[in-house]
A and B are shown apart, each in its own frame.
Chain A
Amino acid sequence: MADDLPSDFDVVVLGTGLPESILAAALSRVGQKVLHIDRNEYYSGQWASFNLENITKWTKEAMGELGLEHPTIEEDVLLQPGETLSRLDLSVKGKTYFNIASEYHVSNEEEVLDKTDIAKECRSDDKMDKLNPDQVEENKDDNDSESNKDTLEASEEAQSEETKSNTETEAILEDKETKPMSEHKTDETFKKPSSSEDSVVKAEVTESKKPETWTASKLKKDWRRFNLDLAPRLLYCAGSMVELLISSDIAKYCEFRTVTRVLTFLNDKLEKVPCSRADVFSSKDVSMLEKRMLMKLLTFCADYTNHEHQYQDFADKPFKEFLKSQKLTNNICHYVQHSIAMATDTMTTMEGLARTKKFLHSLGRYGNTAFLWPLYGSGELPQSFCRMCAVFGGVYCLRTAVSAVICGADNKCKGVVLTNGQRINCRYVIMESSYADAEDMTYRAKRHVNRGIFITDRSVLPTEDQQLSLMFLPDPDNGVRPTAVLELPPSSMTCPQGLHAVHMTRPGTGDVHPREDLKIVKEKLFDPADDDKPNILWSMYFSQTYYEDLKRGESTPDNIIVLPGPGPEIDLNDVVTQTRQIFVDIMPGEEFLPRPPNPEDIIYVDENEATVGENKQSEFAGEESETNKTGDQSEGVKDTEEVTAIQSDESTPIKTDSTVDQSDESTPIKTDSTVDQSDESSTITADSAVDQSNDGENKQDISSEAGLPLYLVSVRDPPTLSVSVLTPPTPRPPPPLTLSAGLPLYLVSVRDPPTLSVSVLTPPTPRPPPPLTLSVSVLTLVVFGRLDFLCI
């Protein structure tokens, strides 16, 4: 790391998990200087997705030490009088993850030597060597005795079905723990444990009846094609995360696929749950009578708040009982409770109905189920928010942690000392729970979630198409710990062709190892002896700690915020709610992740030359990235509008005001607007002195008063708006806000450099799609100095 970081920030964010990344982006977006660091060399922390290599490496890291050390801190040099230093624990061992075990369930080599296959593999090996010399080593067997043992264990397990005792499991774990960690560097191919052909124990799972015989080496060769999530999460199609991604335009960094089906076990048979109207009617598993029942029930649930009398007697009683009272068949009750509401037996009717409604409202928006899956894994999402943070000036630094927190005499955090020894001053520290010391956290309960990741050779319910399946299997014991199962096909970009990645998530209890805790579900879905069921080729188990109702410790400075890691939820609504609340607390009055200016709309203005719209001309052929528009205007209309905007940009009369009085409340803002609205005789209302000129004749040069920030704001047909900072503004206090009623009002607040946020205060009145003639309202303003607000 060559250069030192700047030493003053507004906020230091520790950890690049999803909540931290959302907050980092939101804060950076409204102009806070954000330093975002992570102790790992990868992004996303507890939300990360790993390939097969890196998850092996993670296994070792999570159980061992990270290698980050406290720097020598010379307190008299770094600290101001009255400041105290409190060290943070840098170790990660056992803090978040425990019970980690992973293994291959297939041997390294195929027992039946298939000549053609081998020849083919050799050829591709040669090719690989030539193309990427770094990958050679992964194809070599390194006769690692330890991994022989792995394979041996794996094969044994396959043979002696589930006779493995807990102690044996622990033994594997111990072996792995004591295995010296090999030296890895970020961008180098990791050496993988792989065994040689002397693991002669034949695993029945690799019997050649299958269309494709998988071996451990085959899996390892495709290591890069895996994206295995530590905390897989789905998005409700109409949920708050989807809304946030759209409103903040972060959606442009990510890609999604819909979950294609919800499965459930009915009478021990795996079936597809009919959840949409189309499903209900096409389902062969549901009788005509049941179809009618189900439709009736779902219709009620989608609008339950308006039919209180139907459920009020059950409001606080279990949802299960409410369903029973509805004279439904068992099948229908099962579908609704377990697959649609995903409710436990004890969940109340109110909660069950709310969950059912949430599910139903997300149906049909993007596909036939209520959920979306982020391509390449959930670990992509935090990175997308990080990118947004960086675009707005956030500074990123991986493989760095906070060694100590500096507190002032007033019990406020003044800054932090990084592991590189540097002092960073800041106003807020936001940290993920695993970075925090125990005394900096209070919580209602410390719990853990048991997770299992399996690589399998086919789907649990194969069809011609690739299916992304969700299953919510009820707790066989007491009903409060269901298991969520997510089966991801290659099209989810989480595994190579021909394979599936299966994630199981179950709230943990006591000290039951996840291997045991997930055993029933695992055996239901996979069975090496049954040719119709998928075989497990590789598996991994771990338990992950999480905190319920996590808050900062009682004596912790109130400008330190502690964020929890992922819990057992399968969606992301909770994360959005939580981060939005924290943001509102820190930055009251600011908008949470407003839409950034569209890069296409940014017009470059040379402050001396006043060449407005210089690059605009070349952007004619632009694609329609204007997704903000209301109504369904045709492309043609959009184009016209675009052109109109550009033309006005160029011929815009620009008035300047070089006598802006910065300290005055009634700052005279002189703006110049070209409003061409034949469909509305709109009055431009603005408090203070907004100079209106509708004739667009007087052209003046832009010249900026020395030192004053120059902002260029262009507003198009509501609600598109873009602003660019033309000259670096000088620091000044936030402007006073004045509102005026009436027509759609846009609030543009420009603050301390180079912050800017735009919000629509009154919803734009619906107006008819603009005719093809020049009747689009276009307003272009160039404002010097402080820009408080403008309205159309």
Chain B
Amino acid sequence: MAAKAKLLKVVLLGDGGVGKSSLMNRFVSNKFDAQSFHTIGVEFLNKDVEVDNELYKMQIWDTAGQERFKSLRTPFYRGADCCLLTFAVDDVQSYRNLGMWRKEFLYYADIKEGDSFPFVIIGNKVDVENRVVGSEEAQEWCHANGRMPYFETSAKDSTNVNDAFRAAVKRLKELEDVIDSNTKPSHGPTVDLKRKDKLQSSGCC
């Protein structure tokens, strides 16, 4: 077995119905289901990727539908290594909400400096005919908000999906030098509840 892959927690964020789950399913299992709903009991999906000769295990977290009423909170965000902010190019509101989601993420993930956090913006559903958010417009917004990489994807026909996810890892590597203790909260090692080795077996004396 090769060197152990580095585990990355990736969160997919954006309005309900922009195709987050579809993107995830396309990326992980290369499938698309037009009726796909949040999969009951599935916390996250894993996919191994190799970027610049390094192995990464991307652990992609499902919002579990909690974004619908904007009620995601800390357990989802904490400890995320990168964030894919998603909108649908045929839904202008989902595009306008990107800033809100970015702010929400930075707040609850407890990120101090948003500009050095690896975000990737995804404009999904480029296969649709009635697109309302222009490519350039989105591109500009990403540039103005910390030069975030922008990808236009279609989970339906698989366009760019792999590239977008891989870009998150690349972005992370790019920012690795910039990311310091200021960006992500570092609080040292904590207690692992599942630790089996008790310090003392009897408890007291």
Per the bound structure, the CA–CA distance linking A383 and B108 in Å amounts to 12
> B194-205, CB under 8 A of A: which get 1 and which 0?
111011101111
Q: Judge whether A366 is part of the interface by a CB distance below 8 angstroms.
A: yes
Q: Judge whether A526 is part of the interface by a CB distance below 8 angstroms.
A: no
CB of A245 within 8 A of CB of B187, answer no
Per the bound structure, the CA–CA distance linking A255 and B191 in Å amounts to 7
- Residues of chain A within 8 A (CB-CB) of B107 are 187, 224
- Residues of chain A within 8 A (CB-CB) of B66 are 386-387, 390, 396
Q: Could you tell me the distance in whole angstroms from the C-beta of A654 to the nearest C-beta in chain B?
A: 19
Per the bound structure, the CA–CA distance linking A621 and B47 in Å amounts to 10
Q: Could you tell me the distance in whole angstroms from the C-beta of A93 to the nearest C-beta in chain B?
A: 25
CB of B41 within 8 A of CB of A596, answer yes
Question: Which A residue's beta carbon lies closest to that of B35?
Answer: A728
CB of B193 within 8 A of CB of A364, answer no
- Residues of chain B within 8 A (CB-CB) of A187 are 100, 103-104, 107
Q: Given A391-B62, A491-B188, A493-B187, are A298 and B204 neighbors across the interface (CB < 8 Å)? A: yes
Q: Judge whether B1 is part of the interface by a CB distance below 8 angstroms.
A: yes
Tell me the chain A residues, 344-367 only, with Cβ under 8 Å from chain B.
Answer: 360-367
CB of A623 within 8 A of CB of B205, answer no
Per the bound structure, the CA–CA distance linking A2 and B67 in Å amounts to 12
Per the bound structure, the CA–CA distance linking A619 and B59 in Å amounts to 11
CB of B193 within 8 A of CB of A493, answer no
Tell me the chain A residues, 290-313 only, with Cβ under 8 Å from chain B.
Answer: 295, 298-299, 301-302
Q: Judge whether B190 is part of the interface by a CB distance below 8 angstroms.
A: yes
> A241-259, CB under 8 A of B: which get 1 and which 0?
0100110000101111110
Per the bound structure, the CA–CA distance linking A2 and B38 in Å amounts to 18
Checking A367, A396, A599 against B45 with a beta-carbon cut-off of 8 angstroms, the contacting residue is: A599
Q: Judge whether B174 is part of the interface by a CB distance below 8 angstroms.
A: no
CB of A622 within 8 A of CB of B46, answer yes
- Residues of chain B within 8 A (CB-CB) of A368 are 199
- Residues of chain B within 8 A (CB-CB) of A619 are 46, 48
CB of A251 within 8 A of CB of B194, answer yes
CB of A493 within 8 A of CB of B40, answer no
Q: Judge whether B31 is part of the interface by a CB distance below 8 angstroms.
A: yes
Tell me the chain A residues, 379-406 only, with Cβ under 8 Å from chain B.
Answer: 380, 383-384, 386-387, 390-393, 395-398, 400
CB of B114 within 8 A of CB of A132, answer yes
Q: Could you tell me the distance in whole angstroms from the C-beta of B110 to the nearest C-beta in chain A?
A: 8
- Residues of chain A within 8 A (CB-CB) of B34 are none
Q: Could you tell me the distance in whole angstroms from the C-beta of B3 to the nearest C-beta in chain A?
A: 8
Number of interface residues of A (CB under 8 A): 80
Q: Given A396-B69, A397-B69, A618-B48, are A387 and B204 neighbors across the interface (CB < 8 Å)? A: no
Per the bound structure, the CA–CA distance linking A575 and B31 in Å amounts to 43
Q: Judge whether A754 is part of the interface by a CB distance below 8 angstroms.
A: yes
Q: Judge whether A376 is part of the interface by a CB distance below 8 angstroms.
A: yes
CB of A383 within 8 A of CB of B73, answer yes
Q: Could you tell me the distance in whole angstroms from the C-beta of B183 to the nearest C-beta in chain A?
A: 11
Taking each of B38, B65, B69, B107, which has the highest tally of chain A beta carbons within 10 Å of its own beta carbon? B69
Q: Judge whether A238 is part of the interface by a CB distance below 8 angstroms.
A: yes
Question: Which A residue's beta carbon lies closest to that of B38?
Answer: A393
Tell me the chain B residues, 39-61 only, with Cβ under 8 Å from chain A.
Answer: 40-48, 55, 57
- Residues of chain B within 8 A (CB-CB) of A277 are 200, 204-205
CB of B43 within 8 A of CB of A1, answer no
- Residues of chain A within 8 A (CB-CB) of B190 are 255-257, 375
Q: Judge whether B71 is part of the interface by a CB distance below 8 angstroms.
A: yes
- Residues of chain A within 8 A (CB-CB) of B202 are 302
- Residues of chain B within 8 A (CB-CB) of A756 are 41
Per the bound structure, the CA–CA distance linking A302 and B65 in Å amounts to 47
Tell me the chain A residues, 528-572 only, with Cβ under 8 Å from chain B.
Answer: none
Checking A361, A380, A396, A632 against B74 with a beta-carbon cut-off of 8 angstroms, the contacting residue is: A380
Q: Could you tell me the distance in whole angstroms from the C-beta of B37 to the nearest C-beta in chain A?
A: 9
Q: Could you tell me the distance in whole angstroms from the C-beta of B94 to the nearest C-beta in chain A?
A: 11
Per the bound structure, the CA–CA distance linking A366 and B192 in Å amounts to 8
Q: Given A390-B65, A393-B40, A599-B46, are A238 and B185 neighbors across the interface (CB < 8 Å)? A: no
CB of B69 within 8 A of CB of A754, answer no
CB of A615 within 8 A of CB of B29, answer yes
- Residues of chain A within 8 A (CB-CB) of B46 are 599-600, 618-619, 622
Q: Judge whether A639 is part of the interface by a CB distance below 8 angstroms.
A: yes
Tell me the chain B residues, 149-205 only, with Cβ under 8 Å from chain A.
Answer: 185, 187-188, 190-191, 193-196, 198-200, 202-205
CB of B199 within 8 A of CB of A364, answer yes
- Residues of chain B within 8 A (CB-CB) of A376 are 74, 78, 110
CB of B198 within 8 A of CB of A398, answer no
- Residues of chain B within 8 A (CB-CB) of A397 are 69, 71
Q: Judge whether A280 is part of the interface by a CB distance below 8 angstroms.
A: yes
Q: Judge whether A175 is part of the interface by a CB distance below 8 angstroms.
A: no
- Residues of chain B within 8 A (CB-CB) of A132 are 114
CB of A245 within 8 A of CB of B113, answer no
CB of B28 within 8 A of CB of A242, answer no
- Residues of chain B within 8 A (CB-CB) of A596 are 41, 43
- Residues of chain B within 8 A (CB-CB) of A251 are 193-194
Q: Judge whether B115 is part of the interface by a CB distance below 8 angstroms.
A: yes
Question: Which A residue's beta carbon lies closest to that of B146?
Answer: A131
Per the bound structure, the CA–CA distance linking A4 and B135 in Å amounts to 31
Q: Could you tell me the distance in whole angstroms from the C-beta of A38 to the nearest C-beta in chain B?
A: 8
Per the bound structure, the CA–CA distance linking A301 and B205 in Å amounts to 11
CB of A238 within 8 A of CB of B203, answer yes
Checking B73, B191, B196, B200 against A363 with a beta-carbon cut-off of 8 angstroms, the contacting residue is: B200
Per the bound structure, the CA–CA distance linking A194 and B194 in Å amounts to 45
CB of B69 within 8 A of CB of A724, answer no
Per the bound structure, the CA–CA distance linking A148 and B190 in Å amounts to 41
Tell me the chain A residues, 623-640 only, with Cβ under 8 Å from chain B.
Answer: 623, 627, 632, 639
- Residues of chain A within 8 A (CB-CB) of B38 are 393
CB of A383 within 8 A of CB of B75, answer yes
Q: Could you tell me the distance in whole angstroms from the C-beta of B71 to the nearest C-beta in chain A?
A: 4
Checking A360, A367, A391 against B203 with a beta-carbon cut-off of 8 angstroms, the contacting residue is: A360
Q: Judge whether B64 is part of the interface by a CB distance below 8 angstroms.
A: yes
CB of A360 within 8 A of CB of B204, answer yes
Q: Judge whether B7 is part of the interface by a CB distance below 8 angstroms.
A: yes
Per the bound structure, the CA–CA distance linking A3 and B64 in Å amounts to 16
Checking A224, A365, A366, A621 against B57 with a beta-carbon cut-off of 8 angstroms, the contacting residue is: A621
Q: Judge whether B143 is part of the interface by a CB distance below 8 angstroms.
A: no
CB of B48 within 8 A of CB of A299, answer no
Q: Could you tell me the distance in whole angstroms from the C-beta of B69 to the nearest C-beta in chain A?
A: 4
CB of B16 within 8 A of CB of A3, answer yes
Q: Given A615-B28, A621-B48, are A375 and B41 neighbors across the interface (CB < 8 Å)? A: no
Question: Which A residue's beta carbon lies closest to that of B79?
Answer: A255
CB of A391 within 8 A of CB of B64, answer yes
Q: Judge whether B131 is part of the interface by a CB distance below 8 angstroms.
A: no
Question: Which B residue's beta carbon lies closest to that of A238?
Answer: B203
CB of B42 within 8 A of CB of A599, answer yes
Q: Judge whether B141 is part of the interface by a CB distance below 8 angstroms.
A: no
Q: Judge whether B32 is part of the interface by a CB distance below 8 angstroms.
A: no
Q: Given A3-B68, A599-B44, are A493 and B76 neighbors across the interface (CB < 8 Å)? A: no
Question: Which B residue's beta carbon lies closest to that of A362?
Answer: B203
CB of A392 within 8 A of CB of B203, answer no
List chain B positions with a Cβ less than 8 A from chain A. 1-2, 4-5, 7, 16, 28-29, 31, 38, 40-48, 55, 57, 62, 64-66, 68-71, 73-76, 78, 100, 103-104, 107, 110, 113-115, 185, 187-188, 190-191, 193-196, 198-200, 202-205
Chosen A-B contacts, 29 in total, with CB atoms closer than 8 Å, are A42-B73, A131-B113, A131-B114, A238-B203, A245-B193, A256-B193, A363-B203, A364-B199, A366-B195, A367-B191, A375-B190, A376-B110, A380-B75, A383-B74, A383-B75, A387-B66, A387-B73, A390-B65, A391-B40, A391-B62, A393-B40, A398-B70, A493-B185, A599-B43, A599-B44, A615-B29, A619-B48, A620-B1, A627-B194
Closest 5 CB pairs of A and B: A364-B200, A390-B64, A253-B75, A360-B204, A396-B71
